[in-house]
Amino acid sequence: MPELHPLQAIKIDFPDGVYVDVRLERNVDHRIRFCDGELDDVQATVETGALIRVLREGQWLLASTTALDEINDVIADLASSSVLPPTERDVGVESLIIHRDQLWIFDDERIDHQPTTAKLDFLKRLIPSMDRPGIKTWNARWLDQHRDRRFVSSRGADVSHDYQECGVILGFTLGLAANAIQESFRASNHRLSELESQSERILNELEALLDKCERFAQEAVAVDAGPATVILSPMAAGIFAHESFGHKSEADTMLGDPQMLEDWKMGSRVAAEGVSIVDAGGGLGSGYMPYDDEGQKTGQTHLIKDGLLSGRLHSALTAAALGEPLTANARAISFRFEPIVRMTTTIFEPGTETRERLFAGVDDGYFIETVRHGSGMSTFTIAPGLCWKIRHGELAEPVRIAVITGTVFETLSEIDGLSDQVEIPFLVGGGCGKMDQWPLSVGFGGPYVRVRRMDVS
């Protein structure tokens, strides 16, 4: 039986006169890939490492290492370094709440202890679905990751927790030449047994997606570019929430810009009435993060509440700089990187309409069902996959749309309906990128969201 939590055994010596925190990680990843019917890759990666942060005279000195037996030497070196001039800057470590906790919630069925053959078998069950005449090329991937994390600090914090996810991605090109569509199907969960118990549903969903793609390849027409009413699926809405407003709510973008703080006063109207966006890290799913990478317990932060600006996402540094409460959003993709302000699970909260009534309110528009990727600055961009014309409240023919774009605030103010049920897709693989840190597991979702005007091309 493998040792479960070797990170707990590591003893850290904290020197006097400096603040030190150490984030220890053990990461295990497995990948299996089939390409066009042939097993193409089976890989396992194990890495153990630590990021050491020493705060000396107002300046951060950091080092990442995979030699865990040398951590105390690294701390001593950093603590004696005077490479940066002293500053009086408050970086917020005094406000960090000291937690001592262990949250090993995946010990009952660690994905890194499951046999590769079981994962291979699960993937193989889905592969026969790729045997459709319209599918020209495909790949099927199994991905899983298990992360053990421990955060300790010279102020007494000692927090350990784990995260894991597993799932499949089947990517395919269906149809010929200009009429072809490239799509992917994902199914994910935290445990292999959870995936296996849902295998029939997963297979049915895959077949249903393939049916839609076949129809798309045969019938899709080019979009009439221009402004249009659009209904976003929960996945598309989640990406929109993440890209359009989530990134704007990360407070590190406001450092050194008092004018922006003035313009972004809490209580300002930033969206239509009834629109609320919330970021929360405690719930299970791909954005699960019970403690952030500064040892702070995650909670729930409303970014927009009923159309009004109501919160921002913070690390210790940004909370201190802006004089606002900590929100436990300091995250790093691995021990190689320092924590920066990141989202966890970001969603639109539900509205009051049924899905049917929401669609009934569109005489002429589009439904964005799947999304390939998104990005956002002052304008956001979503690259859709499957899209459908809405005519007189009903889904009509499939439509080829390259991108939908809009100005963030104008688009948020154009939302005139949200359905009453939230869906949060669990997405294995991929994630959010910021600066040089990609991919970070995040969650996003929402209800169906109707926007009166978005630019479609």
Partner 1 sequence: MSVREVVRVESDTLKLGVTDSAIASVRSQTEVQTAVRVMDGGRIGLASAVGEAALDQLTHAARDALIFDVPYPVEPEQGRTLHCEHRGDRRSVSELVDITTELLNALRSEFPQYVFSYGVEQQRLAWHIESDAGLDLHYSRDTTQLAFVVKEKGSGNIFDTFVGVEGSTVDLDATLEEFRSHLKAFGIPQQARTGRQKIVFPGLSGMSGSGLLQLVRSDLLGRVYAQGASIFDGKMGAKEPVFSPLLTLRERRNPNAGRVCPFDMEGVVRDPLDLEIVANGRLISLASNKRDAFRFDLPHTGTAIGDAAQLPSSGFGQIVADTTASSLKDLLGPDGGLLAWFVAGGNSTRAGDMAFPTHVLMAVDENGLVTGRVPGATLTGNIFETLGSDFVGSTAQRTDPFSDEGFFVAHMTVQG
Interacting span for partner 1 (CB under 8 A) from 183-191, 257-265, 306-314, 422-430: 257-265
Binding mask 356-395 for partner 1 (x = CB under 8 A): ----------------xxxxxxxxxxxx------------
Interacting span for partner 1 (CB under 8 A) from 302-310, 388-396, 402-410, 443-451: 402-410
- What residues numbered 130-169 form the site for partner 1, per CB under 8 A? 136-137
Structure tokens at 289: 């993060």
Among positions 4, 76, 80, 84, the unique one binding partner 1 when judged by CB under 8 A: 84
* Residue 35 found at the interface with partner 1 (CB under 8 A): yes
Among positions 49, 445, 446, 447, the unique one binding partner 1 when judged by CB under 8 A: 49
Name the residue nearer to partner 1 (CB basis): 163 or 380. 380
* Residue 118 found at the interface with partner 1 (CB under 8 A): no
- For residue 209, the number of C-alpha atoms closer than 13 Å in the C-beta half-sphere is 27
Q: What is the nearest approach in angstroms of partner 1 to the Cβ of residue 182?
A: 7
Among positions 43, 95, 354, 421, the unique one binding partner 1 when judged by CB under 8 A: 43
Q: What is the nearest approach in angstroms of partner 1 to the Cβ of residue 188?
A: 20
- Per-residue exposure over 80-91, b if at least 16 CB sit within 10 Å of its own CB, e if not: eeeeeeeeeeeb
Q: What is the nearest approach in angstroms of partner 1 to the Cβ of residue 318?
A: 9
Binding mask 315-354 for partner 1 (x = CB under 8 A): --x---x--------------x-x----------------
Chain CA centroid to CA 319, Å: 22
Strand order in the sheet with 345-348: 308-309, 300-305, 277-280, 345-348, 443-445
Name the residue nearer to partner 1 (CB basis): 327 or 419. 327
Among positions 4, 46, 76, 97, the unique one binding partner 1 when judged by CB under 8 A: 46
Binning the chain into helix, strand and coil, the percentages to the nearest 5 are 25, 40, 35
Residue type, 209: L
- For residue 317, the number of C-alpha atoms closer than 13 Å in the C-beta half-sphere is 19
Q: What is the nearest approach in angstroms of partner 1 to the Cβ of residue 350?
A: 27
Size of the site for partner 1 (CB under 8 A): 77
Output the 3-class SS for 163-201. EEEEEEEEEEEECCHHHCEEEEEEEEECCHHHHHHCHHH
Binding mask 2-31 for partner 1 (x = CB under 8 A): -----------------------------x
Three-point CA angle 328, 240, 194, nearest 5°: 70
Q: What is the nearest approach in angstroms of partner 1 to the Cβ of residue 71?
A: 13
What backbone phi and psi angles, to 5 degrees, belong to 269? Answer: -80, 125
For 207, the enclosing helix (H) or strand (E) is helix 199-219
Residue 201: CB partners within 8 Å, gap ≥ 6?
Answer: none
- Report the 10 Å Cβ neighbour count for 123: 20
